[in-house]
Amino acid sequence: MQETTCCVFGHREIDETAELRAQVTRAMERLITEEKVDTFLFGSKSRFNDLCLALVTQLKEQYPHIKRVYLRAEFPHIDQDYMAYLLQSYEDTEYPEGLLGAGKAVYVERNYEMIRRSRFCIVYYKEEYSPSTRKSGTKTALDYARKKEREIISFP
């Protein structure tokens, strides 16, 4: 799965512009057409994730084989109603086993899991968006992706 998978992560807030949308769309389309990426992994709690989900959803019209998968950091067990709600936007959702008992680190661990499953990472990171009182979750994930030698496509 790793060879054809790309994860997405970034800051909760972003400077969303038409240029950013176009750049991210071009990067995603290149991954689909040239690198044969067919699966995009998404987390939550990030405006960049929301933007990328919308862009992949648009690309899905042209490339219907691509899959959108939501890795939940909350709710290890969900009912059919919530599952049906999520499947309106994604082809699949799961709660990775390794997140049980992660406590406050659950979002960090979820991001690590997305990175482990991916060959590519599309990232929105700006140093000035990082909090001064603690380490940024986006920076933590980006450092991990570099350590794991993932191919990183960084914005802005």
pLDDT at 132 over 70: no
Which residues contact residue 22 at a Cβ distance below 8 angstroms, ignoring those fewer than 6 apart?
none
Task: List domains and CATH numbers for the chain.
Answer: 2-155 (3.40.50.450)
> Can you give the pTM of this predicted structure?
0.94
In tens, the pLDDT along 75-128 reads 999 999 999 999 999 999 999 998 988 888 999 999 999 999 999 999 999 887
- Listed residue (96, 128, 104) closest to 7, CA to CA: 96
